[in-house]
Chain A
Amino acid sequence: ELKVEQNPLFLSMQEGKNYTIYCNYSTTSDRLYWYRQDPGKSLESLFVLLSNGAVKQEGRLMASLDTKARLSTLHITAAVHDLSATYFCAVDSMGVPMRFGAGTRLTVKP
């Protein structure tokens, strides 16, 4: 069974600081996803990572994938208040539907 572990579950950051969220998964997988969710809202797709060594960046967020280690990271650079949200990683593969990690609730404080 595909399992996805995310840490930390809670993250309180000061504005301007850097931090990394980690996502480990249990089986060989083709695809890794990062989503953002604001309170009461649906999921917003941030990144889709499809191959070993893939790195994608959007603004202050950068995601990477190491399929050999079964590890993805979401790096936050110089955090700002607007990044406060819950971030989910998710994994799927051929014939295996997408499963989510528990989520990281990020709070950025001034």
Chain B
Amino acid sequence: DTEVTQTPKHLVMGMTNKKSLKCEQHMGHRAMYWYKQKAKKPPELMFVYSYEKLSINESVPSRFSPECPNSSLLNLHLHALQPEDSALYLCASRHVMTGRRYNGYTFGSGTRLTVV
């Protein structure tokens, strides 16, 4: 299995809703990432997990809450979002060690989030 699977692919939520995005990989990657991408902009880093521990939080508002329950799964819990949070949310993973056979990051297909 060489994929990162993200669900759902599309999500519409109200500003008072609570929802979660899910990301799963079975490649043995121990580094996992959440990126946010607004239209016509590059992806922006949100969170980094290394060996299931949060290692980087790029000053993301607390209405976004990441969770890494195990080495294969990464969640992003959403609560009280604003319309400006509407974006494509991308999950990525990679091997922590970068030896000769390092292949870089594998990105999921993304979740298109619309906050109404």
Contact = CB atoms under 8 A, between A and B. Distances in A.
> Do these two chains interact?
yes
Interface in B62-111: 88, 90, 98, 102-110
A43 B103 contact: no
A11 interface: no
A40 to B, nearest CB: 8
Q: How large is the interface on A (under 10, 10 to 19, 20 to 34, 35 or more residues)?
A: 10 to 19
A45 B42 contact: no
Contacts, number: 46
Given A97-B56, A98-B45, A103-B42, A45 B98 contact: no
Contact of A42 (B42, B48, B103, B108): B108
Given A42-B88, A88-B43, A103-B42, 8 more contacts: A31-B104, A42-B90, A42-B108, A45-B103, A45-B106, A48-B103, A100-B43, A100-B44
Interface of B: 33, 41-45, 48, 56, 88, 90, 98, 102-110, 112
